[in-house]
Structure 1
Amino acid sequence: MVHEILLGLAGLLGSVPLAIVVATLLLRAGLLPLSIRAYRAERVRAKLAPQLAEIRERHGHEPAVLAEKTTALMREAGSGPFAGLVPMLAQAPFIWLLYREFTNGDMRGHSLFGFDLTQRLIGHPGLLAGWLIVAALVGIAAWNVRQLPAGSPVYVRVLSFATVAFAAFVPVAAGIYLVTTGLWTAVERFVFRQRSVLPV
């Protein structure tokens, strides 16, 4: 199904890399309600930061009680501790399908800057398209981390750089997806935070 969608879009747009970008943008637009929920959860966490710190101070030595109290406080405020992960998890099936699409050889012969979309940086160290993808992902991750509110959990900061860690191991086509979705996330975060469109 992914193959047919990408080829159909490529036929309309005249480019497989552009088809990947458009398909990614359509997916992210469909996930916008989940993203809004995640940003609201982030704002709730920031608002509850003093209470969460107090719970950690009181129950830091009791992990089960700490988790229970933290979850209860978040639920009381209409959120949950893992609400920010929902958009990432919702994308996982598409990432898996796209990865399969570009590793089974069906799209061999399509290229970006003259480099085959099925090639990987790990196997081709001179792959300019691969290095451009890594550089773009580092820039996007740094921008995302700078936009995080003070006191954001460490795992959120680390997850911002997760795509950079495995960009060298995925085909160029999957890298195009990662750059597009990462850029969407950065712009989304900027809009939702700077314009304060998400009241808690």
Structure 2
Amino acid sequence: MPSFLEAPVAGAYHLLTSLVSLLQPFAGAYAAVIAIVMCTLVVRLCLVPLSVRAQRGTKARAELMPQLKQLTDKHRDNPERLQREVAKLQSESGTSLFAGFLPTLAQLPFFWLMYTLFSRAMVAGESNDLISGSLLGSPLGTHWPILTSTPAYAVIALLLCVVAFFSARLQLRQLDPSATTLSRRIAQLLPYGTLLTAAFVPLAAGLYLLTTTTWTLLERTILQR
């Protein structure tokens, strides 16, 4: 890892271990689990303004979709003209078609930190105490078992599927009526990508995914009203 990335990793490690130490007398073996959930909720709370903007972007995309389709059909053979017209349409509407991706992009550094902290035996020049934490008997630093399953992974997988199911239904309701069959299929399957991601990351990162996707589902449900 490049040396300039070691500083944020070390800082996050000391912050998380300090929080775990504070929770230890009350939470015992689940101190690290609660610390991960708490940190995730704090991050998502800080991203609420971006989420509000993202929801507006989602609504804007739905409203602009018929006009975008007209522009695409009209300038199909002139990509440069199409790009200018789309940019003009966005400017006139006062929104960006990519605003809906802002919360996800903003979370990537935190997800990377979570993956790094629970994937290394040594952090900041010392033994990594975080990976000794566990959830239902499974160490937080272990990856998804290939041939066997444990209660922790089964619970995480089941809950991720439940959240993905309701997220897919919510996304389908937000689609424009003129959306293509492919767009609807993507909206239906995309939320299940978290389950696939959880299969390749430490259990701690899977716990983060479950917490943040649950927050996203509840947040979108509220903001949609």
Aligned-pair identity (%):
36
**1:150 aligned partner:** 175
Q: Offset of 1:123 from its aligned partner?
A: 4.4
Q: Offset of 1:12 from its aligned partner?
A: 2.8
Unaligned stretches of 5+ residues in structure 1: 195-200
**2:107 aligned partner:** 91
Inter-partner Cα distance in structure 2 for 1:166 and 1:129:
16
In 2 relative to 1, CA 30–71 (structure 1 residues): closer, same or farther, beyond 3 Å? same
Task: State the one-letter code of the partner of 2:18.
Answer: G
- Cα deviation per residue 1:53-75 (whole Å; 9 max; x = unaligned)? 21222233444433432232123
**2:218 aligned partner:** 187
The size of the alignment, in residue pairs, is 194
**1:39 aligned partner:** 55
* Contact 2:55/2:100 (<8 A) preserved: yes
Residue 197 of structure 2 corresponds to residue 166 of structure 1: yes
Inter-partner Cα distance in structure 2 for 1:63 and 1:136:
43
**1:11 aligned partner:** 21
Inter-partner Cα distance in structure 1 for 2:86 and 2:145:
41
- Cα deviation per residue 1:6-27 (whole Å; 9 max; x = unaligned)? 2222233331101100000000
Inter-partner Cα distance in structure 1 for 2:205 and 2:198:
8
TM-score, normalised by the number of residues in structure 1: 0.87
1:70 to 86, 96, 99: 86
4+ aligned runs moved over 3 Å, structure 1? 60-68, 152-156
Task: State the one-letter code of the partner of 2:17.
Answer: L
Q: Offset of 1:159 from its aligned partner?
A: 4.1
**1:108 aligned partner:** 131
Structure with bigger gyration radius: 2
In 2 relative to 1, CA 128–63 (structure 1 residues): closer, same or farther, beyond 3 Å? farther
TM-score, normalised by the number of residues in structure 2: 0.78
Inter-partner Cα distance in structure 2 for 1:177 and 1:193:
24
Residue 140 of structure 2 corresponds to residue 130 of structure 1: no
C-alpha RMSD over aligned residues? 2.1
In 2 relative to 1, CA 124–6 (structure 1 residues): closer, same or farther, beyond 3 Å? farther
Q: Offset of 1:137 from its aligned partner?
A: 1.6
Which is worse superposed, 48-57 or 15-24? 48-57
In 2 relative to 1, CA 65–164 (structure 1 residues): closer, same or farther, beyond 3 Å? farther
Unaligned stretches of 5+ residues in structure 2: 1-10, 122-127
In 2 relative to 1, CA 191–5 (structure 1 residues): closer, same or farther, beyond 3 Å? same
